[in-house]
Amino acid sequence: MNYRSRLFGSGMFYKNALVIAVPIMLQQLIQSLVSLIDNFMVSGLGDVSMSGVNVAGQLLFVFMVFLNAICMTGGIFMTQFYGARNREGMGQAFRYKLIMGLAAFVPYYLVCMTFPRQVLSLMLVGNSQAGPILDEAVKYIRIMFFTGIPVTISISIASSLRDIGKVRIPLYVTIAATLTNTILNWLLIYGHLGFPKMGVEGAALATVIARALELTIFVVIYIRTKPEFAVKAADFLKINRIQFRETLVKGFLVLFCEMVWAISETITTAVYNGRGGADVVSGMASGFAIANLFFVAFGGIYSATGVVIGKTLGAGELERAREEKTWLLSGAVVFGLVMMAFGFGTTLIVPLVFGKLSRSAVAICRSMVILMAAFMPLWVYMNTQQAVARAGGDTAMGAYADSLLTLLVMIPMVILLGKFTMIGPVGMYGCVKLIDLIKVVIFHIWLKKERWLKNLTGMGVGRVLGI
């Protein structure tokens, strides 16, 4: 009984964690369902159109990873200053998110509007239908460019609300925006109710309008409710240089880790795409679209872990944080098994959602879903390890242990498999993801050193902010 009490927390502890995690997972589930509906609608245009949207989507994926990495870093300080009840510290963390997020808009513009075809073509080296796929991808990305600034501001506000435990507001906003996106997709892709039939351009335009609505709602909420992290427009540039520099240093390692992951996923996707024609591109993309239904586990458990551990560390309760770390990791094992079962169940909807794709594409989709579901216990546990480390400001674990393995082992491995073997895209994916077993062991050893067990508000930045 004593052993169990050390390994698992109380029911109330997990209930409080789920209060944070469930609304976030619901929000992401709604987004994933809408994305799945989008893919279903676009798949009706054929393998080529769906492939074009998803090749363009890979660039948007990199941009979103960049934004989320920035918000993760700001969130490290946001949650701890929230635990310390320091509004000025929270305001500085929010400034960091917005300033760094808007800085990312420059490369986003260059890729989307200046030379999109050249960049997108790198995703289709060796693909037998690269030309027509690129035609669709360029049409899509030139319109999706206009989501850049709305997405940046919305994510900064939404992530900050989650950092202080206000998880329901982003959920409700997401519901409104995604319903708008779905309805507009139906109207604009196929031209229903007298609207023009725009194909992939209609899908992009629907997303732009939905993102604009999302931004409007978040700004109204921000102005009316004035959350704890809110700053006056006139004071926005009153930056605390010490905290900004500290956040930037931590942020560099988080950004490095996340961007290495995003770029590695882009490289491996490019290698997979070279294994055939539009059926491979659309099949792999549709597999990920369905997997996103159970990938919601990552965002929920990551945010819940960050808020729980960060708040405890910010309050200076280090021994309590040590216990919570063990409880969260134990809970992650159970949660990962549940999500694995759910993942296997999603294979039932593959023929319903993507039945209009070619048989080859559907077969690839189903195999990918089964494979990714099998990895869920490992991935949920690994994400919780990362969240614990980052909650205490230990961003080095991901940068060194995760990114170095990715750069030195995973990327060379997938390139060699692509060049010297005839393994299909699903088999290649499974081979490279086995490296995650090594990462979990390294993370376990690293966390035992307790570099993460720090109250950041008590460091130099905290003293400057009057804590």
pLDDT in tens, 264-292: 888 888 787 777 777 887 888 888 888 88
Q: Looking at residues 369-394, what average pLDDT do you find?
A: 90
- What does the pLDDT read at residue 375? 95
Residue range of the domain that includes 449 = 2-464
Q: Looking at residues 181-210, what average pLDDT do you find?
A: 88
* Measured torsion, CA atoms of residues 51, 268, 288, 147, in degrees rounded to the nearest 10: -70
- What does the pLDDT read at residue 341? 95
CB atoms within 10 A of CB 65: 18
**Would you state the structure tokens that stand for residue 467, as one six-digit string?**
């804590």
Q: What is the distance between the alpha carbons of residues 71 and 97, in angstroms, rounded to a whole number?
A: 5
Cβ atoms 95, 231 nearer than 8 A: yes
Cβ atoms 12, 167 nearer than 8 A: no
- What does the pLDDT read at residue 338? 93
Q: Is the pLDDT score of 467 beyond 60?
A: no
Q: Looking at residues 6-23, what average pLDDT do you find?
A: 83
Q: What is the pLDDT of residues 110-160, one digit of tens each?
A: 778 888 888 888 777 666 677 888 888 888 888 888 988 898 999 899 989
Percent of the chain past pLDDT 70, that is, above it, reads 93
Q: Is the pLDDT score of 301 beyond 50?
A: yes
Q: Which of 64-78, 218-232, 330-344 has the lowest mean pLDDT?
A: 64-78
pLDDT band, residue 34 (cuts 50/70/90): low
Choose among 81, 110, 108: nearest CA to 94: 81
Cβ atoms 379, 300 nearer than 8 A: no
Q: What is the distance between the alpha carbons of residues 184 and 204, in angstroms, rounded to a whole number?
A: 10
**Would you state the structure tokens that stand for residue 248, as one six-digit string?**
């930037």
Q: Looking at residues 384-408, what average pLDDT do you find?
A: 83
Cβ atoms 154, 144 nearer than 8 A: no
What is the residue-averaged pLDDT of the chain? Answer: 83
Q: Coil, strand, or helix at residue 422?
A: coil
Q: Is the pLDDT score of 384 beyond 80?
A: yes
pLDDT band, residue 460 (cuts 50/70/90): very low
Q: How many domains does the chain have?
A: 1
* Residue 169 vs residue 61, higher pLDDT: 169
- Extract long-range pairs of 114-117: CB within 8 Å, 24+ residues apart: 116/56, 116/59, 116/141, 116/142
Beta strands (DSSP E) in 306-418 are none
User: Residue 426 is which amino acid?
Assistant: V
Cβ atoms 165, 307 nearer than 8 A: yes
